[in-house]
Structure formats: structure tokens, C-alpha cells
Chains A and B, each alone.
Chain A
Amino acid sequence: MEHYTMNLTLKVWRQKNKKDKGGFETYTVNGISSEMSFLEMIDVLNERLVHEGKDPIAFDHDCREGICGMCSMYINGRPHGPWEGTTTCQLHMRAFKDGDTIVVEPWRANAFPVVKDLVVDRSAFDRIIQAGGYISVNTGNAVDANATLIPKDDADAAFAAAACIGCGACVAACKNSSALLFLSAKVSHLALVPQGNPERKSRALDMIAQMDKEGFGSCTATGACEAVCPKEISITNIARLNAEYGRAGLTIDK
């Protein structure tokens, strides 16, 4: 792979806090290596801003290996930028070329208020999990792990859904800011393993009720969520959720 350096123009959303109106600021960065990650490019800019005595750009990031779900930039109109199945932290600068202008914004959704610059508050996701995204088993209650056989295909499908990193790109991409891909991934994960069976009805109903309460919109069925998901969580999970929800609504004993 040939390496090269580039000069770029960045238009970055700056917003001091939740109440501030915010706006774009333009920066130029020079001599960026194609081997850098996108966040390392922002690091370079931030070091310069600090050196100039200016406030660096606030952004969420932690593991920088695509698994913690903390990074969350909207890059050139797409959550996590141009590469498919990739988080912002794994996006590398060889995705861009010399002279490019890159627009960077925070996730935009009423349920994800801006904290500062590119940082948003995603605690609504935690509260959706609190509404039922778990199996009620206390420590020490478990039977032997091999006592219940789980068909490999079910275990694999549960794993594929459980691979969701809770970053919120699905919400950011959705015209309605729906959280259904996130929610359906959790409901699917737990519906596909036998241990999740006893609570599957209340889980689907309660988690959806909480999602509505948090101010997320309803599904547009356009599939924008699936298209931008860095973990390529399938939209078929939403179909499964709909089935779970329908089943629960029709049969729950209360």
C-alpha cells in the first residue's frame, strides 16, 4: 500500500454546551499521512489548537479499535464516514485525498442532546436496556453451561445481533431518529437463546415503551440504519422485533 500525505479543509461543528446554538468552524490541516486514523488526524488538529491557546474539539472516543461504541462523528453526511462496516476510529485517512473538504458533525437526534461540540448524551440507550434488555438471573443461579443445547445457527444469529456496540449511528442516520435497530438487536439476541424465553413478551413491550418515552421516532423502513451500522447489524432484526411485539401484544397475560 502506497503512503501519501495530504492537506485538508475541515468544517467542524462547534457548540460550547447543550444550550449554545453552535455552528461550523473551518480549519485547514496539512501534512496528514494516509496511514493515520481519522481520530489521529483530529488529534493533530487539537494539539495545534492547544498550542495556539484555543479550545480543542471535544469528541467521544475510547478503545480506538471499533468495539467500545464511544466514537460518534457524522462525516460528510454519513455516520462514521465513508467506509462500510467501520467505526470512525477505524476509518483511516487513505479514504481521503489531497485537497478534500471534510464536514464533521455530531449525531443529531432529540433523544441524543449535544454535550459539547461532537459529544452527545446517549444515556437513553442505557435506559432502554434497563426496561428489559437482560435475562433475570442472579449470580449463582446457573445450571451447567452445557445442560442446555443451543443449535449453532441460533447461537451464531444471537451473536450477530449481540455484536451491536450501542454507538447510535442507526439513530443518527434515520430521518425519524428511530432506535429500532439498536432495540431490535437486543430483543433478537435474547429471543434467539432459550435462556431469554421466559421474559420475551414483557421485554419487547417494555423496551419499546421506553424507546417512545425517550423521544425516538418510529421506523421509516428505509434501511438507512442497516446501511450505516458499523457492525452490520441486519434489519431483519427489526422484522423479528415486530414479530416479538405482535406476539406479545396478542398473547401477554396481565
Chain B
Amino acid sequence: MFNSNIPEGPLEKKWEEYKGHVKLVNPANKRSIEIIIIGTGLAGASAAASLGELGYKVKTFCFQDSPRRAHSIAAQGGINAAKNYQNDGDSVFRLFYDTIKGGDYRAREANVHRLAEVSASIIDQCVAQGVPFAREYGGLLSNRSFGGTQVQRTFYAAGQTGQQLLIGAYQSLERQIALGNVENYSRHEMLEIVKIDGKARGIIARNLITGELERHFGHAVLICSGGYGNVFYLSTNAMGSNVTAAWKAHKQGAYFGNPCFTQIHPTCIPVTGDHQSKLTLMSESLRNDGRIWVPKKQNDTRKPNEIPEEERDYYLERRYPAFGNLVPRDVASRAAKERCDAGYGVGSSKQAVYLDYESAIERYGKIECRKHGIDQPSAAVIREHGVAVVKEKYGNLFDMYAKITGEDPYSVPMRIYPAVHYTMGGLWVDYELMTSVPGLYSLGEANFSDHGANRLGASALMQGLADGYFVIPYTIGNYLANEIRTKPIPTSDPAFVAAEKAVADRLSTLKNINGSQSPESFHKRLGKIMWDKCGMARNEAGLKEAIEEIRALKAEFWRDLRVTGDINEFNPELDKAGRVADFIELGELMCQDALQRRESCGGHFREEMQTPDGEAQRDDENFSFVAAWEYKGDSQWELHKEKLEFEVAHPTQRSYK
């Protein structure tokens, strides 16, 4: 069961060879094979569209009111691809290498290389769908830089790249729905995986409008339900983003890979108070042109514009001259935390640093003035032209900042602080994206596969679409070719009946606790434990405390929860209660994983393990493995280790200096 199924042969030939020999399902047989897809974000929608086009009978499920709402839509900055359109030395190998290194050597080489190989086709596909990427005046596609790389390989559509890519995938999905190849179930939540003879054979879903439970059969089930950052309560995820689908899969036997690997994004709008329900990201693309600084003096209360240039500490440029403001996210986040903890933070909470656009506005303004033949322009004219350029590139982000904070980021530097953003961990999958349960797959952020211990910017969109458009259409055939004789199993089968009963019992238990505290209040408390003890910095004592606190919280939850409304109606409180219950269990596993990984790598920073200058200190000898956790019962897991072999990208101390 625990085999990563990486094809033999040299790294750069593996995927080509695999595709040449993988089993196929003929078109007539595809028509009688049913596939269930949970989640309609980039991974789910692209998989559903592609599998529908191939002729499979597909069903998609999402909890939102339309597939187009999935949280991929909020991705801002861009999508990477090894096109080398800029002639700046990019290649499949560079993208592969940057991703492995950026992930601090905790990802599988074969998966990452395949990701880099298919990256270029994603851009081609999206343009063919009509995705309006940013272009140069000559009509060619434009690129920008993201963290952890020294080439310009990021394609973008203003600060709304995720929206445009998702709409492209959504439109392809809607086309397949119109053609009758895909049936979509919006406002439905998957609450159980149905297994028959050890294989995934369907799901139990709840219609969120009527509260009815439904049984759906599938020859295979794909979990594309995104990440679990909301375990921290405050994150850049959407309010509805949850771990429930992945957690149900985990409890049915799918191993959970590297749960403690979470990404704290360095540039988010800081928390303002207890009422805060979510955090808002300011795209990493802003670090292309913005400069990050804090005052050189501790507890400086002057306004930013009153602090002269020589009294500002551009600490990223100082510490990491080679990459400057474009160091990877984990490095930038820790550096911000370090400055704030040392007393150099700004704003009323002192938990913020400045992201400043003044020099970019001046630089762009001068270029524009030259372009327009304005001789000896005044500072005001330069500024006016510079602001126009910045507006075009980042306008929607600046507007969002202004609405949330009430400040004008064109004239006052933005205040930013790190926040939970992405989870590299997720369901363990093999090379074919199959979990440890046969017939159960996981794609996109929901799986653990490609980003190691830290994801590079603009790589999430790439991975979601790679998995859906270009990987699963090939790999799923290798499994389904052996299923062509399996007739659809009637949902009256005892396995479906039992699974539905288990779901109904759990809902009724949640509803009938009749305690006094809301699901929201438990979620908030869980989030605080996770952020304080399993967040940007972790240590043994803290993690042990966190595990105890989470267990106590779990007991209290099942004793004192209050769910208003009824089971058989539209009831967001009940939906939320189920999700919080799953987050609590996941939170414990994350702490267990963080505790066993006695090294620092990527976003996982164990305070006990750091270099003298405060960088993450890996321990390749003992921890060069994927932690794959098997569920064994309440608060019990068994750790399996998948050894990571590096044949091409040999692990070194990651340096961005």
C-alpha cells in the first residue's frame, strides 16, 4: 500500500516514459465509468473538464453556490511556467530546481520535475480558453518575478490571476455540464467516503439547502478540496475553506502527508482586533517593486514619511543581498517576525512592517516621462506618471488595502505582517496522485506532493492546473483500465447504507449536545492555540502543551457545543460545527507531526534547530522523509516514512544571501 510508484529511468525521462506505457481506457468504456470530484477550484474544475472531455461520466460537488466561487479565485499574483519567453535563462530544469530548493528539499523530485515539464502547456491551454493574461504593447505575454527565483517566469492578470484562471477552468467545466458529460452539485458537502472491498466507491453528500443526505457511486473519487489553513482560524483562506473532505478520506485510510508544513505568507494586512474574521493577503508580486523596511530605532513612533532614508532598515536587502525583497516566503516571514519581536515593529499593534512603494513610483515615473518626451519633469509630474503605472500593475490590491485600512497606500507605506496562507501538507499521494486508498485520488492543495516544506509564489496555481489538466487524465486511466468490468454498484449496497447512517448519527450527535458555546467560538480558540504554539516558530514544550490543550478543547466541544436550527434545513451553523470538529482533530495531528520533526525546514521552524544567524537548520540525515500518518482511532496515528531520494538536486544549506 505504501509505494510512491515513481517510474524507473532518468528523472527527465520518467513522465515521458510513463505516458508511453500507461494503460488506456477505450472511448466506449469511458462512457460507462463514473468519477466523483470533490471541490471545483483550479484542480477540481480542470480535472472535471478534462475528464468530461475524455468521455468519463463525472459528478462534481462544491459547498458554494456555484463552482466559480472556489477559493482559487482569490489567488492574486500569478502562475509560473518554464516558457523562457524573457530569454533570461529559464528552463524546465531551473523551475524544477527552484521548486525543490524553495521547498527546502522535502519534496519528491519526480513529481516536481513533471510539474515543471507540464507548466508550459498550462499557459497555452489557458490562453486558448481566452484567459486575458497581461500583455506587452507588441501583443506578447508579459512576465514578472516572484520570490525564490532569479528569472521572470510568472504570468499574470493584474492582481487577479487566480480569478481569471478559475473562470477559464469554470467555463470549460460549464461547457461539459452543458454537453451532459458532467453533473454538478452546488451547495453540497461531502461527509463520507464509501469503501467497498478496500476501494473507494462513492460518497455520502449532504444537500446544504434541504439537509438531505445523498449517496453517489463512483468508480473513483478525487479529493480536490483545497488546503486546511483555516485550522488557524485567522488565515487568508475563504471563510468556508475546510479540511472536512480530506479528513474524511484520512479517517477512511488515506495517509496524511506532512501535516505540519504550513505556509505563513509575509505580506498580509495586520490584525486589528478580536472581531477579525479573516486576513487579507497583499500579493507577493508587490515585492517586485515594493521595499520592506522598519525604523532603525526601536519603538519609533514617528510617522513613516517623517523617518529619513538613513534611519530606515531595509532588513531583507541587508540580510539577503542576492535575492533582496524577493526571498522565499518562509524566509521573509521569519525576518519580519524577528524585527517585530525585537521591538522594531510599526503601527499601533507594533506587529507590522512597512511595504513601501515610493521608490518604485519614482522609478516608473521617470521611465514614463522619458517615454512621453517630458524634459526635466518636476517631482510632482514624475509622481503622477509613476502612480499611474503602479495603479495599472497593482491597482486592485492597493484599492483593497485602502478599503480595509482607510489609508492611501499611494502616499503612505502599507503596513503588513505574516499570516497563514497555504498548506504544503495534505493527503499523501503516489506519483499517480492516488492516496493510500485504491481509487481515491487527491489533487491540488489538498495533496502534499510538490512543494516540500515551503511553496514558492505563483506555484499553487501551476500545481492545481497541472494536476487537473495534464496529470490525472493520464494517471487515472492506469487504475480505471482494470475497472471496465465493474458495473455501477447500486447505492442500496450495505456499505452505502452504513456510511449514510454514520453520517446521520454524527449530525444528530452534533445537533443534540445542546451546550452553550457556538462552533465559531471553538474555532477561534483552536486557532489561537495553533498560531501561538504551532505557527511561525515551534518548540517541543509548546507543542506538547498544544496537544494537551487541543484534547481538552475537543472534550469541551463534544460536551458544550450549541448548534441552532435543525438538521433538515439550510443550516450554516451545523455545517460549521462539523468542520470545526474536523479541524480540532487535524490540529492535534499537526502538532504531533511538528513535534516529531526535530529539524527546521522551510515553513517549519523549530526554535531548537537554527543556524547561528537564525536560519532554518535541516537535518537531512534523520529527516529526509515524507511523514505519512495513518489514522488508527481517536487521537491515535501511526507514522510511516517515505524516504526522499535526491538523485539530481543534491540538498545543500539553502542560501539566498
Residues of chain A whose beta carbon lies under 8 Å from any beta carbon of chain B: 1, 17, 33, 35-37, 39-40, 43-44, 47, 49-51, 53-56, 58, 60-70, 83, 85-86, 90-92, 94, 115-116, 119, 121-123, 125-126, 129-131, 133-146, 148-152, 155-156, 158-159, 162-163, 165-166, 189-190, 192-193, 195-196
Are A115 and B570 in contact, CB atoms less than 8 angstroms apart? yes
Are B138 and A158 in contact, CB atoms less than 8 angstroms apart? no
B652 to chain A, nearest CB (A): 34
Q: Is the interface of A mostly helix, strand, loop or mixed?
A: loop
Please name all residues of chain A whose beta carbon is closer than 8 Å to the beta carbon of B238 when the two chains form the complex.
62-64, 68
Please name all residues of chain A whose beta carbon is closer than 8 Å to the beta carbon of B570 when the two chains form the complex.
17, 58, 115-116, 119
- From the candidates B124, B175, B516, name the one contacting A142 in the complex (CB within 8 A): B124
A62 to chain B, nearest CB (A): 4
State A70–B187 Cα separation when bound (angstroms).
Answer: 12
Are B132 and A122 in contact, CB atoms less than 8 angstroms apart? no
Does any Cβ of A come within 8 Å of B470's Cβ?
Answer: yes
Please name all residues of chain A whose beta carbon is closer than 8 Å to the beta carbon of B73 when the two chains form the complex.
63, 67-68
With known contacts A1-B405, A131-B178, A50–B132 Cβ distance under 8 A: no
B488 to chain A, nearest CB (A): 25
Does any Cβ of A come within 8 Å of B172's Cβ?
Answer: yes
With CB as the reference atom, state the residue of chain B lying closest to A158: B132
Does any Cβ of A come within 8 Å of B275's Cβ?
Answer: yes
Please name all residues of chain B whose beta carbon is closer than 8 Å to the beta carbon of A139 when the two chains form the complex.
46, 49-50, 53, 125, 172, 469-470, 473
Are A159 and B50 in contact, CB atoms less than 8 angstroms apart? no
- From the candidates B71, B163, B470, name the one contacting A62 in the complex (CB within 8 A): B71
Are A67 and B64 in contact, CB atoms less than 8 angstroms apart? no
Instruction: Give 30 pairs: A residue, B residue, CB < 8 Å, sorted on A.
Output: A33-B272, A43-B520, A50-B573, A51-B518, A53-B564, A55-B564, A62-B238, A63-B238, A63-B239, A64-B238, A64-B239, A64-B278, A65-B400, A67-B160, A68-B64, A90-B403, A115-B570, A139-B49, A140-B121, A140-B469, A141-B125, A142-B125, A145-B124, A145-B141, A152-B139, A156-B135, A165-B163, A166-B68, A189-B132, A195-B129
Are B121 and A146 in contact, CB atoms less than 8 angstroms apart? no
State A123–B171 Cα separation when bound (angstroms).
Answer: 14
- From the candidates A33, A58, A190, name the one contacting B130 in the complex (CB within 8 A): A190
Are B564 and A134 in contact, CB atoms less than 8 angstroms apart? no
With CB as the reference atom, state the residue of chain A lying closest to B85: A146
With CB as the reference atom, state the residue of chain B lying closest to A35: B272
With CB as the reference atom, state the residue of chain A lying closest to B157: A159
Please name all residues of chain B whose beta carbon is closer than 8 Å to the beta carbon of A62 when the two chains form the complex.
64, 69, 71, 238-240
State A157–B53 Cα separation when bound (angstroms).
Answer: 30
20 new A-B contacts, CB < 8 A, other than A130-B177, A156-B132, are A35-B272, A50-B520, A50-B573, A51-B518, A55-B564, A62-B69, A65-B236, A69-B69, A70-B65, A83-B403, A116-B569, A119-B570, A123-B65, A129-B171, A137-B125, A145-B133, A152-B135, A158-B132, A162-B164, A193-B130
Does any Cβ of A come within 8 Å of B167's Cβ?
Answer: yes
Are A135 and B129 in contact, CB atoms less than 8 angstroms apart? yes
Chain B 243-281 interface residues, beta-carbon cutoff 8 Å to A: 272-273, 275-278, 280-281
State A17–B518 Cα separation when bound (angstroms).
Answer: 23
Are A126 and B66 in contact, CB atoms less than 8 angstroms apart? yes
With known contacts A135-B128, A145-B141, A63–B135 Cβ distance under 8 A: no
A167 to chain B, nearest CB (A): 10
Does any Cβ of A come within 8 Å of B134's Cβ?
Answer: yes
Tally A-B pairs: CB < 8 A: 222
With known contacts A65-B280, A134-B174, A92–B406 Cβ distance under 8 A: yes
Please name all residues of chain A whose beta carbon is closer than 8 Å to the beta carbon of B272 when the two chains form the complex.
33, 35
Chain B 109-136 interface residues, beta-carbon cutoff 8 Å to A: 121, 123-130, 132-136
Please name all residues of chain A whose beta carbon is closer than 8 Å to the beta carbon of B564 when the two chains form the complex.
49-50, 53-56
Does any Cβ of A come within 8 Å of B407's Cβ?
Answer: yes
State A86–B400 Cα separation when bound (angstroms).
Answer: 9
Does any Cβ of A come within 8 Å of B572's Cβ?
Answer: yes
A115 to chain B, nearest CB (A): 6
Does any Cβ of A come within 8 Å of B597's Cβ?
Answer: no
Are B66 and A195 in contact, CB atoms less than 8 angstroms apart? no
With CB as the reference atom, state the residue of chain B lying closest to A132: B178
Are A149 and B125 in contact, CB atoms less than 8 angstroms apart? no
Please name all residues of chain B whose beta carbon is closer than 8 Å to the beta carbon of A61 when the two chains form the complex.
239
Please name all residues of chain B whose beta carbon is closer than 8 Å to the beta carbon of A49 when the two chains form the complex.
564
With CB as the reference atom, state the residue of chain B lying closest to A53: B564
- From the candidates B66, B121, B123, B137, name the one contacting A125 in the complex (CB within 8 A): B66
State A83–B406 Cα separation when bound (angstroms).
Answer: 13
Chain B 75-99 interface residues, beta-carbon cutoff 8 Å to A: 83, 85
Are B66 and A166 in contact, CB atoms less than 8 angstroms apart? yes
Please name all residues of chain A whose beta carbon is closer than 8 Å to the beta carbon of B178 when the two chains form the complex.
130-131
- From the candidates B49, B141, B399, B405, name the one contacting A146 in the complex (CB within 8 A): B141
State A206–B238 Cα separation when bound (angstroms).
Answer: 34
Are A155 and B66 in contact, CB atoms less than 8 angstroms apart? no
Are B139 and A136 in contact, CB atoms less than 8 angstroms apart? no
Does any Cβ of A come within 8 Å of B107's Cβ?
Answer: no
Please name all residues of chain A whose beta carbon is closer than 8 Å to the beta carbon of B403 when the two chains form the complex.
66, 83, 86, 90-92
Chain B 207-222 interface residues, beta-carbon cutoff 8 Å to A: 209
State A84–B68 Cα separation when bound (angstroms).
Answer: 24
With CB as the reference atom, state the residue of chain B lying closest to A141: B128
- From the candidates A35, A56, A70, name the one contacting B69 in the complex (CB within 8 A): A70
Please name all residues of chain B whose beta carbon is closer than 8 Å to the beta carbon of A148 when the two chains form the complex.
127
Are B407 and A1 in contact, CB atoms less than 8 angstroms apart? yes
Please name all residues of chain B whose beta carbon is closer than 8 Å to the beta carbon of A126 when the two chains form the complex.
66-68, 174, 177, 184, 186
B406 to chain A, nearest CB (A): 4
Please name all residues of chain B whose beta carbon is closer than 8 Å to the beta carbon of A143 when the two chains form the complex.
124, 128
Please name all residues of chain A whose beta carbon is closer than 8 Å to the beta carbon of B125 when the two chains form the complex.
137, 139-142
Please name all residues of chain B whose beta carbon is closer than 8 Å to the beta carbon of A195 when the two chains form the complex.
127-130
Does any Cβ of A come within 8 Å of B565's Cβ?
Answer: yes
With known contacts A123-B186, A149-B139, A159-B158, A68–B277 Cβ distance under 8 A: no
Please name all residues of chain B whose beta carbon is closer than 8 Å to the beta carbon of A70 when the two chains form the complex.
64-65, 69
Does any Cβ of A come within 8 Å of B555's Cβ?
Answer: no
B109 to chain A, nearest CB (A): 25
Are A135 and B130 in contact, CB atoms less than 8 angstroms apart? yes
State A193–B516 Cα separation when bound (angstroms).
Answer: 56
Does any Cβ of A come within 8 Å of B404's Cβ?
Answer: yes
Please name all residues of chain A whose beta carbon is closer than 8 Å to the beta carbon of B170 when the two chains form the complex.
129
With CB as the reference atom, state the residue of chain A lying closest to B155: A145
Are B573 and A37 in contact, CB atoms less than 8 angstroms apart? no
Chain B 157-195 interface residues, beta-carbon cutoff 8 Å to A: 157-158, 160, 162-164, 167, 170-172, 174-175, 177-178, 184, 186
Against A, the Cβ 8 Å flags (1 = close, 0 = not) of B397-438 are 001100111110000000000000000000000000000000
State A190–B128 Cα separation when bound (angstroms).
Answer: 11
